[in-house]
Chains A and B, each alone.
Chain A
Amino acid sequence: GPKVLQIPSHQIIDMGQMVTLNCDPVSNHLYFYWYKQILGQQMEFLVNFYNGKVMEKSKLFKDQFSVERPDGSYFTLKIQPTALEDSAVYFCASSRTGADNQAPLFGEGTRLSVL
């Protein structure tokens, strides 16, 4: 079936550096999401992106975070600069529409370790 792919699966970075997490959503999906999961805790919503714009974001989506999908390529989450508390698994998701009955498909996550 269709899959959301995330690259890389694990990234280790020094605090203060920039990191870009890449997501290859399902090809005909138009809505994209990032979620953050700290080890042992539940998934928390970061941001929703549609038609080139951030539609909704949570308080976890700090000013250091940005998202984009240039020219229909990867949907990316950039963190600049990174902080220790950014260590977590970041999950990308996509859905064809934003309708209530559209369940997002999730990728397998990128584990980010900030040292």
Chain B
Amino acid sequence: GEQVEQRPPHLSVREGDSAIIICTYTDSATAYFSWYKQEAGAGLQLLMSVLSNVDRKEEQGLTVLLNKKDKRLSLNLTAAHPGDSAVYFCAVRASSGSWQLIFGSGTQLTVMP
């Protein structure tokens, strides 16, 4: 079945720098890709989602890139600020017919002032 690997597990950046988190997946039929943010003690906040026909999506300082050839999904936070400090998860859904989201292992992002 689908396997998702996420890296790095921990990432520290200075305020104003960019932060890049990468997930790789195994199933080429994967149809849906998303990024979630989890602040300490809280639930998951959906940041952005894309379907497999989208290569790039930008919203509010976030850029999601999808490279289907390499089966790689990335999240780029441009100009990170301390409020971005949280755990970030990628989540993918395999081909239509499954409602299951498969999550990456998470990246603990710390943005230092």
Interface residues of A (CB under 8 A from B): 4, 6, 31, 33, 35, 41-45, 48, 55-56, 58, 91, 93, 98, 100-101, 103-109
**Chain B residues, CB < 8 A from A4:** 43
- Report the contact-size class of chain B (Cβ under 8 Å from the partner): 20 to 34
A103 touches which one: B34, B42, B100 (CB < 8 A)? Answer: B34
Residues of B within 8 A of A103 (CB): 34, 46, 49
**Contacts known (A100-B51, A103-B46); A43 close to B103, Cβ less than 8 A:** yes
Q: Could you write out 9 A-B pairs with CB less than 8 Å apart?
A: A33-B99, A42-B103, A43-B101, A45-B102, A93-B44, A98-B99, A105-B46, A107-B43, A108-B42
Assuming the contacts A44-B103, A100-B31, A103-B34, asked whether A56 and B93 have C-beta atoms less than 8 A apart, the reply is no
* A106-B44 in contact (CB<8A): yes
Across the interface, name the chain A residue whose C-beta is closest to B6.
A42
Residue-wise interface mask of B (26-46) relative to A, using a CB-CB cutoff of 8 A (1 in contact, 0 not): 000001101010000111111
For the complex, give the distance between the alpha carbons of A98 and B103 in Å.
Answer: 18
In the complex, which residues of chain A have a beta carbon less than 8 angstroms from the beta carbon of B96? 100
Which residue of chain A lies nearest to B104 when distances are taken between CB atoms in the complex?
A42
A49 to B102, CA, bound (A): 17
**Known contacts A91-B43, A100-B51, A101-B32: A42-B106 contact under CB 8 Å:** yes
- Say whether B105 faces chain A, with CB atoms less than 8 Å apart: yes
Contact A100-B106, Cβ < 8 Å, known A91-B43, A106-B43, A109-B43: no
For residue B60, CB closer than 8 A to chain A, the reply is no
Q: What 1/0 flags go to B76-113 for Cβ under 8 Å of A?
A: 00000000000001010100101111111110000000
Q: Which of A42, A45, A48, A55 contacts B105 (CB 8 A)?
A: A42
Q: Which chain B positions have C-beta within 8 A of A6?
A: 43
Q: Which residue of B lies closest to A91 (CB)?
A: B43
Contacts of B32 in A (CB 8 A): 100-101
- B104 / chain A contacts, CB cutoff of 8 Å: 42
Of A41, A43, A55, A106, chain B has the most CB atoms within 10 Å of the CB of A43
The reply to whether A56 and B44 form a contact with Cβ atoms under 8 Å apart is no
B93 pairs with A100, CB closer than 8 A: yes
